[in-house]
Structure 1
Amino acid sequence: MTALKIAGVPEHFNLPWHLCIEQGKFAGVGLDVEWTDVPEGTGKLCQMLRDGSTDIAVILTEGIIKDIAAGNESKIVQVYVGSPLIWGIHVAAGPNHRSLQDLQDGKVAISRYGSGSHLMAIVNAKQQGWDTTALRFEVINTLDGAVEALSTGKADYFMWERFMTKPIVDAGVFRRVGDCPTPWPCFVIAVRNEVLETHADEIGTLLDSINQMTTGFKDLPDIDHILAERYNQQTEDIREWLKLTEWSQKTLDSNTFEKVQDQLFELKIIEKKAAFETAAG
């Protein structure tokens, strides 16, 4: 058995990985897969790839491309979710910040620098015509931290995946004032170069297994109810999310890679670009 450590966010996108583990799909092909939930998100996942505490990360596309350009010795081996991520723009429920335009001078809650919540706040600001260099940030680490920061006024708004935050909106804690979909596939699978060099065949076997699961994932019996129960969602919300979400079994193409890099470079999120050949394949 080859042991592989995988990390990702504790969100509904990643249920296929858990099902593969629980149903023995990986063990059946000689892989001992250990999954770690990382509620802090992409910034922490990049750190884990760098320090070797995970071998593989299921990670936001823009976040890992940024970190590879900054020297993370990992490679994107495949697109995992090919549809955009719909980032909800959230404020504390209450009389303030009635619209997106009210947030131009507000402080943004982010899980950490380099995270999706950080990068997409800059993307959103550019789309709104705001001065991206004037953005101010409050690091809150997790979704619970965001609730505390918005509720106490430490930050004015927070961007996170729309459906995972909907229970907080439904509970009257957050209000969503807008959406900001990513203009690219949202999740990719990244592997440390060292692991790729020593376990290339095993990584291929792992991808075959997860791709078999994601190909038929939407057709699994009662998958809407299973997702709703596991991730504290309303079944009707899960059904809407499933309609909008498409898993991928394809590698990342150079055009998409350059599109993301060009956007990050234009926004001054990265200072130099990485070569596609060293970053993906």
Structure 2
Amino acid sequence: MKNFLIGGVPEHFNLPWYIALRDKEFQKEEINLRWKDYPGGTGEMAAALRNKEIDMAVILTEGIVRDIINGNDSKIVQVFVKSPLLWGIHVAADSDYEEILDLKGTDAAISRYGSGSHLMAFVNAENHHWDLKNDLKFKVIQDLDGALKGLPKGKGDYFMWEKFMTKPYVDNGTFRLIGESPTPWPSFVIAVRNDVLINEEACVKAILKVINDTTANFKAFPNVDELIAKRYGQKIEDVREWLSLTSWSDAQLTSKELENIQQKLLELKLIENKIQETSILHNF
């Protein structure tokens, strides 16, 4: 039995992993796969890959591309969620901010530097033609819980996080949603440390086959909408809308998609240079 440790955010996108683990699908392949939640998101997982604390991660596409370019010794093995991530732009419910333009020059609450919430603040700023040097400021709040505690107290002025995961906190009056910003590329990929790919490629392929078989049938699972609603504290109508907008994948990023991501990161001055596709993507 081979031991593997995978990291991911504790969100509904990753429920297929929970189902496959629950049903002992990986053990049937002689693989003892353990899951570790990373509420801090992409920056926290990228650090865990670098520090060899985990073998693989389900991670935001733009975040891991940037971290690989900056020296993370890992590669993307496939897309996991091919639909864009719909980032909600949130403020404290009692704040004076009414629209995105009001946020120009204010503090974006981010989980950490290099995280999705950090990178997407740049994308949002560019979409609204802000000065990326002078109109973007940041306050580190660690994760969603940090934003829930911090934003109402003035630690950060706005917070970007996946719209449906934050919807319960809009409904209960903690946050107010004032805009949305979808990623212009597939939202989640699976990344694996290079030493693991070299030494355990067959096992990685077996893990991918199990999860891809699970996602292929995910929406057809009996009462999957009710399971998601209960597990993640969501309203059933929100879950059904999210399911209608979300699609999983077993394909690799295309050259065009990777070029688009690298070009955007370069334009936003989040990387200093592009690197070869073969240094970022692993094709079996």
Fold agreement, TM-score > 0.5? yes
Report 1:261-272 matches (<5 A): 261-272=262-273
Q: Quote the offset at 1:232 in angstroms.
A: 0.7
Contact 1:20 1:210 in 2 (8 A): yes
1:247 maps to 248
Q: Quote the offset at 1:255 in angstroms.
A: 1.0
1:190 maps to 191
Percent identity reads 52
Mean Cα deviation higher: 94-103 or 220-229: 94-103
1:24 maps to 24
Q: CA separation in 1, counterparts of 2:150 and 2:121?
A: 16
CA shift digits 1:218-262 (9 cap, x unpaired): 010000000010111111100000000000011111111111000
1:99 maps to 99
Report 1:91-130 matches (<5 A): 91-130=91-130
Contact 1:106 1:156 in 2 (8 A): yes
TM-score, length basis structure 2: 0.98
* Pairing 1:133–2:143 present: no
CA shift digits 1:80-99 (9 cap, x unpaired): 00000000000000250011
Contact 1:68 1:274 in 2 (8 A): no
Q: Which runs of 5+ in 1 are unaligned?
A: none
SS in 1 for 2:192: strand
SS in 2 for 1:132: coil
Q: CA separation in 1, counterparts of 2:241 and 2:222?
A: 17
Contact 1:79 1:249 in 2 (8 A): yes
1:89 maps to 89
SS in 2 for 1:133: coil
2:8 maps to 8
Report 1:29-44 matches (<5 A): 29-44=29-44
Q: CA separation in 2, counterparts of 1:59 and 1:218?
A: 21
Q: Quote the offset at 1:149 in angstroms.
A: 1.9
1:219 maps to 220
Contact 1:78 1:250 in 2 (8 A): yes
Report 1:73-88 matches (<5 A): 73-88=73-88
SS in 2 for 1:59: strand
Report 1:171-182 matches (<5 A): 171-182=172-183
* Pairing 1:64–2:94 present: no
One-letter code aligned to 2:178 = V
Q: Which runs of 5+ in 2 are unaligned?
A: none
Q: CA separation in 1, counterparts of 2:27 and 2:232?
A: 25
Where has structure 1 moved over 4 Å in runs of 4 or more?
none
Q: CA separation in 1, counterparts of 2:264 and 2:216?
A: 30
Structure 1 vs Structure 2 CA RMSD:
0.6
2:207 maps to 206
When the two structures are aligned, how many residues end up with a matched partner? 281
Q: CA separation in 2, counterparts of 1:188 and 1:95?
A: 35
CA shift digits 1:24-47 (9 cap, x unpaired): 100011110010000000000000
Q: Quote the offset at 1:274 in angstroms.
A: 2.0
One-letter code aligned to 1:271 = E
CA separation of 1:95 and 1:192: change in aligned 2, threshold 3 A: closer
TM-score, length basis structure 1: 0.99
